[in-house]
Amino acid sequence: MSEFNNRIDAQRRILRLVNASRDFKEELFGLSSGALERWARVNDYDEHNPLLVLLKQAAAKLSFLANKSQEQITDEYRSLSDEVASLTEQIRVAASNFSF
């Protein structure tokens, strides 16, 4: 499996952890900055919300914050780091425990 597809897999895992955790007014559509801002706005979360902070960290690691990445057809992305795995676990815990 390519590194690009691995990054999509990582994004999918994170979105599923969040969206399956409860009924939001509107679910999270992606890890772009625009999608995160929309999700926070619609669900009334401020910028210090712990889950939102973790999601932004993961998005930055996965290079999804900016939607301008044009190199979707290349296989030279940085390898996913252990840090992403750690952030994903923190998101799982935050999504299941955090009182919104």
Angle at the Cα of 46 from the Cα atoms of 45 and 51, rounded to 5 degrees:
65
Neighbours of 33 (CB within 10 A): 15
Q: Is 11 in the site for another protein (CB under 8 A)?
A: yes
Q: Is 100 in the site for another protein (CB under 8 A)?
A: no
Q: Is 66 in the site for another protein (CB under 8 A)?
A: yes
Q: Write down the least CB distance from residue 62 to another protein, Å.
A: 13
Kindly give the interhelix angle for 3-19 and 82-97, rounded to the nearest 10 degrees.
10
* Of 50-58, 71-79, 82-90, 91-99: span binding another protein (CB under 8 A): 71-79
Rg (CA), the chain: 13
Q: Is 91 in the site for another protein (CB under 8 A)?
A: no
Q: Compute the distance between CA of residue 54 and CA of residue 49 in angstroms, rounded to an integer.
A: 9
Residues in contact with another protein by the rule CB under 8 A: 1-2, 4-5, 8-9, 11-12, 15-16, 19-20, 26-30, 32-39, 65-75
